[in-house]
Amino acid sequence: MRDHEDDEDTGGEEDWSDVDQPEGEKKRPDPVFILLEGEGGLLVDPAMVDALHERSYFGKVDDATKLLFMYPEEILIFSERNRLLAVKDASIEAATAMLPEIKEKWDERGIEAFAGDGRFLVPEALFKHFQERVPDFWEKYVVYRDLKTRGYIVRRGIKDVSHFRVYKKGVKKGDEPAKFIYFGIFEGKPVPLARLHEISDYAMNNRQDLILAVVDRQMDITYYNVKKQDV
């Protein structure tokens, strides 16, 4: 194994504050309005699907509603960056009816317009919501947030194989598969060696680099690039 912490580091925090704005247009970014559902949430405004999914790799399109389903780590990072409003225990029709009011207030004052509005969950409440529903959510989230901060394109991983898929910089959606798969190992929660063999085989068969993200109890992360002979 070798330390991978600084490989391909972009050298600065990713700037996607204007992810949904046409080039050259300067205005307040539109709100990401989420209706919580299961282990994630639906993006209520269909007009934002192209910007967030097709151009920025967030979420997956829900077959039943045709809305964008966003994963908990994506929801929380938008909330921490004051870009998101989230509601729960509402119908999609009721949430959609709230959109005009939300957009009007947002255009005037942004997230500050909703301070103290009990209809919406603040980041701390969102964290508690997902922590109760998603195993090892905080540990996985700190890895996701760190990768996003480094400027990587990060998507949810393949079930039972990896926590996240990471793409080379500049890759357009659909052009090529992820270059790296990231699997988190959390202190106090050992992973069987046989499972690491399976994950390593998957990465090798798909010509992907396997990166282990080792998270200690202080939530510090060390990355290791794993070759087959290391496992």
Per-residue pLDDT of the chain (231 residues; tens, 9 = 90+): 344 444 444 334 444 444 544 445 557 889 999 999 989 999 999 999 999 998 888 999 988 888 999 999 999 999 999 999 999 999 999 999 999 999 999 999 999 999 999 999 999 999 999 999 999 999 999 999 999 999 889 999 987 789 999 987 777 766 778 899 999 999 888 889 899 899 999 999 989 999 999 999 999 999 999 875 555
Residues 6+ apart with CB under 8 A from 29: 17, 18, 19, 20, 21, 83
- The top-level CATH class assigned to 32-131 is alpha beta
* Both structure tokens of 161: 């194989």
> For the stretch 50-81, what's the b/e string if a residue is b when 16 or more beta carbons lie within 10 angstroms of its beta carbon?
ebbbeebbbbeeeeeeebbbbbbbbbbbbbee
**pLDDT value of residue 14:** 44
68-70 sheet: strands from edge to edge: 60-61, 68-70, 41-43, 32-36, 84-87
CB 20, CB 51: distance < 8 Å: yes
Where do you find CATH 3.40.1350.150 in the chain?
2-11+153-230
- Structure-block tokens of residue 220: 């510090």
pTM for the full predicted model: 0.85
Domain with CATH 3.40.1170.20 in the chain: 32-131
**In this structure, which topology does domain 2-11+153-230 adopt according to CATH?**
Trna Endonuclease; Chain: A, domain 1 (3.40.1350)
